[in-house]
Structure 1
Amino acid sequence: MTVAVVLFTSDLRLHDHPPLRSALDNHDAVVPLFVRDEHIDAAGFAAPNRLAFLVDCLADLDSGLRERGGRLVLRSGDVVDRVREVAREADADEVHMAADVSRYAHRREDRLREALREDGRRLRVHDAVVTALPPGAVTPAGSDHFAVFTPYHRRWDQERLRDPLPAPRTVRVPDSVRSDDLPDRAKIPDVSEGLAPGGEQAARHSLANWLRSGIHHYDERHDDLPGDGTSRLSPHLHFGTLSPTEVVHRARAVSGSGAEAFVRQVCWREFHHQVLAARPAAAHDDYRAKHDRWRTGRDAEDDFAAWRDGLTGYPIVDAAMRQLSHEGWMHNRGRLLAGSFLTKTLYLDWRWGARHFLRMLVDGDVANNQMNWQWMAGTGTDTRPNRVLNPIRQALRYDPDGEYVRRWVPQLAELEGAAVHEPWKLTGLERARYDYPDPIVSLSEGLDRFKQARGVD
């Protein structure tokens, strides 16, 4: 009997899974394996919200495999050591896994390939699993990646994607391979109260609902803060409970301007992955340095704490940060506002914001989180690096009646209409009724400081 190991990483699904399909087509049995990576845990990436969502995903994946006669094998520790161990137990001749883009993923893949070679086994890495197109599939003349989104999107949109694969009907797993127990989600501390459930079943249900009733108006509603006309599929794309290839195929089948706008947003995810694949140092270093001397010291730390806790005195920014704390997720427009305020108005290092988002966001990953933060800080791929979003103007445009703010900043719930966005204009006894801080900085002061630091008019 021939056996292969299928190492699941950021692809926790059964539908449209090329590594699993290839292993099943070429072997009598497979070992579906997930390793709780001790190095990722030690680096702080196993934040409570993502860990809780991961546990949901693993439980759902195990359930789906059992429905097909198989099971998920869990191990913990160093990925290379654990995969090598399982391959020996199963007498597997191959290990299949999906390609990924981070520097850590590339090093892990290289280590695993060498270790398996020493054991007389082979590693097979499959592209177009974590992304719809491999990061290097389209490149401009004279460069290894696109540094600007629009030309990348133009080329990406013309490429033919592979056809999605159906989920397997049966999965045979050798009885001899042991598994650790599934983690207990209830024992994970500090999980956001409003965190959505994970798993492929929940993902496919959400996708079906989105394609049926949400996507048609996405182009008109994606910036609507109180209406939340977003898909909320980003956590499922991050954990791979949905295939980006299948998502794009099914969205294009809907057609219309809403579907086109949504596919364009999926392409942003692909764009960031190809940038990071080509420039892995951008996970920590400026992609395009502006030689910023970000603020440091006690005042800077106090301002960061106010931003983190939703106490800046700017209701739209505070609402976004409080949504993040409660749900482990934030509306895209809120992310832009929070990012602009931290890096441009407070002039604090984008890495501070990126670290906090990675601690809280269920969809937080290195490619999208770091590159989006750099875009907003003006050190990334934004062609207008010195743009500053005015939170008051943005609030009046995207939350005109203050519904989003009142939802997340209950201290201001009694204020009516647009007045909720500028509570400091209240006077006397009226202002004293509201337990809400004054702005930590005036917008004009923050703008002047940023312009002086960047040397712009």
Structure 2
Amino acid sequence: MNTVVLLLTRDLRVHDHPALAASCANAERVVPLFVADPALTVPDNRRRFLLESLQDLRDGLRRRGGDLLVRSGDPVAEAVRTAREVGAEGIALTADVSGYAARRQERLARACARERLALKLFPGVTIVPAGEVTPSTGGDHYKVFTPYWRAWQSRRWRGTVATPRKVHLPDGVTGDDPRTVLGDAKSESPHPMSGGESEALRRVRNWRTKAAAYADRHDDLPGDATSRLSPYLHFGCLSPLALATTDGMPEAYLRQLCWRDFYHQLLAAFPKLGTQAFRPGAQEQWHDDPEALQAWQAGETGVPIVDAGMKQLAAEGWMHNRARLVTASYLTKTLGLDWRDGAAWYNRLLIDADVANNYGNWQWVAGTGTDTKPYRRFSPDRQAERFDPDGEYVRRWTGTGGQPARP
């Protein structure tokens, strides 16, 4: 094959990128293309992170002789139009599982068939692709995490692929500054993480020195001992497989990466995860209390550990994993408010919010999802006693002492 268009989505990296590696190995020329769909609303925190990630990806491609084309419009139409312009014989794409992604893949397949273009889908968003681990008792997905975890561990993973040394563009093709095409974006949160593969790899190097203590410290709220890599996994600045196979990665952290795969296979099987209760017969008798919801969003509930978590979210566009459980449980199990309202607020501010993890976790906490104990509650007082016994996390984020921690 002479020329391939590589349609980039949530795979904004050059390392362990199966679609990029295969395109470079099997085609003489590769045209990396990113298309921002105006039909999708991207909140400011994620839009800024996305722009930084695209710029960093462009730099990585240019160091290898390539470049990044950036467009705004319908991804299918733009990919086909670009293929015509450069005389491409095919389009490569990393497969994804959301309803939007599935529709995009279906439309692209039909368009490629009409245009006589080859279409090849590749793995890379998860460690184990959705649908490759299924229950021995039947069905196309696991509904409970623990048996999935056992099956996931025993599954033979694909090998990581080498980063291409060279990316050859067709003659006359030049890339674009993402901000020139898509416009700039100012983060809603004042202290966000920086986007891009380079920053992701730097954080992985730092994380390796702390990973051994993860099992003992990952719930320590003031210790901030989690990896903070979720935004980079969400945008594909970091390969989940490469991270999982990093030397010294503890089992407790692999379990978290498995949760991510678990929710992706759940979303693939149940596309309405963001709008409908997953658990059959789940009780959804939620209160309507706009004032209580607004107080929760602002971190003004009067419950210190809940308010601290919500203020961290507002400040950083990220929240400690333990605080996510506490704040979500308080909204749904204490206030009795709809998990969809909480998930929507997270979706607005979290840099790492995606449909699978955000809504899957919210349903788990709300008792409408995959938790085998759907009436489970997280007592704010008990959680504070266990994971913030000296009140350091609360003081840091509620303004009663200390300064906001920078990522």
Q: TM-score, normalised by structure 2?
A: 0.96
What are the residue-to-residue correspondences of 1:292-307 with 2, within 5 Å? Answer: 292-296=284-288, 300-307=289-296
2:313 and 2:349 in contact (8 A); partners too: yes
Structure 2 residue 131 is the aligned partner of structure 1 residue 131? no
Q: What's the CA shift for 1:122?
A: 1.5
What are the residue-to-residue correspondences of 1:300-339 with 2, within 5 Å? Answer: 300-339=289-328
Residue deviations 1:151-172, cap 9 Å, x none?
0000101112111112111101
What are the residue-to-residue correspondences of 1:363-402 with 2, within 5 Å? Answer: 363-402=352-391
Structure 2 residue 198 is the aligned partner of structure 1 residue 201? yes
Residue deviations 1:251-308, cap 9 Å, x none?
xx316xxx11000110000000011111111221000142322112xxx000000000
Q: Which has the larger radius of gyration?
A: 1
Structure 2 residue 149 is the aligned partner of structure 1 residue 153? yes
Residue deviations 1:16-36, cap 9 Å, x none?
111111111111100000001
1:228 and 1:331 in contact (8 A); partners too: yes
Q: What's the CA shift for 1:187?
A: 3.9
Structure 2 counterpart of 1:283: 274
Question: Which among 235, 254, 265 is matched to residue 248 of structure 2?
Answer: 254
1:225 and 1:404 in contact (8 A); partners too: yes
Question: What CA distance in whole angstroms lies between the structure 1 residues aligned with 2:184 and 2:38?
Answer: 18
Structure 1 counterpart of 2:405: none
Structure 1 counterpart of 2:395: 406
2:221 and 2:322 in contact (8 A); partners too: yes
Question: What CA distance in whole angstroms lies between the structure 2 residues aligned with 1:70 and 1:181?
Answer: 14
Structure 2 counterpart of 1:24: 24
Letter in 2 for 1:338: T
| Aligned-partner SS, 1:407 | helix
What are the residue-to-residue correspondences of 1:52-451 with 2, within 5 Å? Answer: 52-127=48-123, 129-140=124-135, 141-177=137-173, 179-183=175-179, 187-211=184-208, 213-250=209-246, 253-254=247-248, 259-288=250-279, 289-296=281-288, 300-410=289-399, 412-413=400-401
1:13 and 1:241 in contact (8 A); partners too: yes
Question: What CA distance in whole angstroms lies between the structure 2 residues aligned with 1:22 and 1:187?
Answer: 32
Letter in 2 for 1:137: E
Structure 2 counterpart of 1:14: 14
Q: What's the CA shift for 1:190?
A: 4.5
1:52 and 1:191 in contact (8 A); partners too: no
Q: TM-score, normalised by structure 1?
A: 0.85
Q: What's the CA shift for 1:143?
A: 1.2
Structure 2 counterpart of 1:4: 4
Letter in 1 for 2:185: I
Letter in 1 for 2:340: R
Residue deviations 1:369-406, cap 9 Å, x none?
00000000000000110011110111111000000000
Root-mean-square deviation (Å) = 1.4
| Aligned-partner SS, 2:255 | helix
Question: What CA distance in whole angstroms lies between the structure 1 residues aligned with 2:126 and 2:171?
Answer: 33
Letter in 2 for 1:201: S
| Aligned-partner SS, 1:359 | helix
Structure 2 counterpart of 1:451: none
| Aligned-partner SS, 1:97 | strand
Question: What CA distance in whole angstroms lies between the structure 2 residues aligned with 1:88 and 1:177?
Answer: 13
Question: What CA distance in whole angstroms lies between the structure 1 residues aligned with 2:397 and 2:21?
Answer: 45
Residue deviations 1:355-377, cap 9 Å, x none?
11010000000000000000000
Residue deviations 1:288-345, cap 9 Å, x none?
142322112xxx0000000000000001000000000000000000000010000010
Higher relative contact order, chain-length normalized (CA < 8 Å, sep 6+): 2
2:8 and 2:33 in contact (8 A); partners too: yes
The structure in which a higher percent of residues are helix is: 1
1:99 and 1:125 in contact (8 A); partners too: yes
Structure 1 counterpart of 2:46: 50
Is there any run of 5+ residues in structure 1 with no aligned partner, and where? 415-457
| Aligned-partner SS, 1:385 | coil
> How many residues were matched structurally?
399
| Aligned-partner SS, 1:6 | strand
Residue deviations 1:209-254, cap 9 Å, x none?
111x11100000000000011000101110101111111111xx31
| Aligned-partner SS, 2:282 | coil
Question: What CA distance in whole angstroms lies between the structure 2 residues aligned with 1:125 and 1:187?
Answer: 31
Please identify, of 106-115 and 189-198, the stretch whose mean Cα deviation from structure 2 is larger.
Answer: 189-198
The sequence identity of aligned pairs, in percent, is 49
Structure 2 counterpart of 1:418: none
Question: What CA distance in whole angstroms lies between the structure 2 residues aligned with 1:295 and 1:177?
Answer: 56
2:49 and 2:194 in contact (8 A); partners too: yes
